[in-house]
């Protein structure tokens, strides 16, 4: 354990014992120039403490530089905050259908696959930006895809676009070599692909 994390834990031991991890991670964000917050998360899990059990949202940079590669999001977590799992080594993630995603929440992570939760009607801006290992995405009932949402996801080769889609940012798939699949009645998707010179196929 590096000295900055040890000091943070010592200074916040009352919060930790009370399982007030919102306060602990807020304190960590204030000194994050001295430590990677994911290292703090690793210390908790190594000690048999699951900070997610007493949170309602995944904090910013929760797994930054953490060694954790797989995670199950419990039902009490209602939101992954902006950059919550960014810069993580997370490959496998099990999400429940009522967990909201935020802007940049997986930015530069090593995530391989994702099913967008039912609660979402849009993929936020930069949500999966530069997730170069991401190869399998189920958009579920998404209606909108934000700016750079999948930009530079170089392993993402195919994606099915739902019938109810009504907006895709021109930069949503920037830096990707991808084919969009959709039903031939999806006039918006056809227009989008033609306007952006993207490969598309009907299913």
Could you read off the pLDDT of 63-86 as tens digits, one per residue?
Answer: 998 999 999 999 999 999 999 999
For the chain, give the longest Cα–Cα distance.
60
Beta partners for 146?
A: none
Highest mean pLDDT among 3-7, 34-38, 83-87: 83-87
Note the pTM of the prediction, 2 decimals.
0.95
Q: Which is nearest to 76 in space by CA: 57, 61, 100? A: 57
DSSP 146: -
Tokens of 75: 């039902």
Q: What is the mean pLDDT of residues 34-47?
A: 89
Q: Establish how many alpha carbons lie within 13 A of residue 46's alpha carbon, considering only the half-sphere containing its beta carbon.
A: 10
Decide if pLDDT at 163 tops 80.
yes
**Range of lowest pLDDT (5-9, 86-90, 194-198):** 5-9
Residue of higher predicted confidence among 174 and 3: 174
Burial 21-43 (b: 16+ CB within 10 A, else e): beebbeebeeebeebbbbbbbbb
């Amino acid at each position: 354990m590096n000295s900055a994390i040890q000091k943070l834990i010592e200074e916040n031991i009352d919060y930790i014992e009370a399982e007030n991890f919102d306060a602990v991670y807020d304190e960590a964000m204030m000194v994050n120039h001295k430590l990677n917050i994911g290292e703090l998360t690793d210390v908790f899990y190594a000690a048999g403490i699951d900070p997610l059990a007493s949170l309602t949202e995944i904090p910013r940079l929760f797994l930054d530089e953490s060694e954790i590669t797989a995670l199950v999001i419990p039902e009490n977590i209602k939101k992954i905050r902006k950059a919550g799992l960014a810069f993580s080594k997370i490959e496998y993630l099990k999400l429940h259908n009522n967990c909201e995603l935020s802007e940049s929440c997986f930015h530069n992570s090593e995530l391989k696959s994702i099913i967008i939760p039912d609660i979402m009607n849009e993929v936020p801006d930069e949500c999966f930006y530069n997730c170069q290992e991401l190869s399998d995405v189920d958009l579920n009932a998404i209606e909108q895809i934000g700016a750079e949402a999948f930009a530079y996801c170089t392993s993402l080769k195919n994606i099915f676009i739902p019938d109810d889609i009504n907006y895709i940012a021109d930069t949503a798939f920037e830096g990707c070599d991808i084919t969009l699949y959709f039903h031939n009645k999806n006039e918006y998707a056809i227009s989008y692909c033609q306007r952006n010179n993207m490969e598309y196929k009907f299913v």
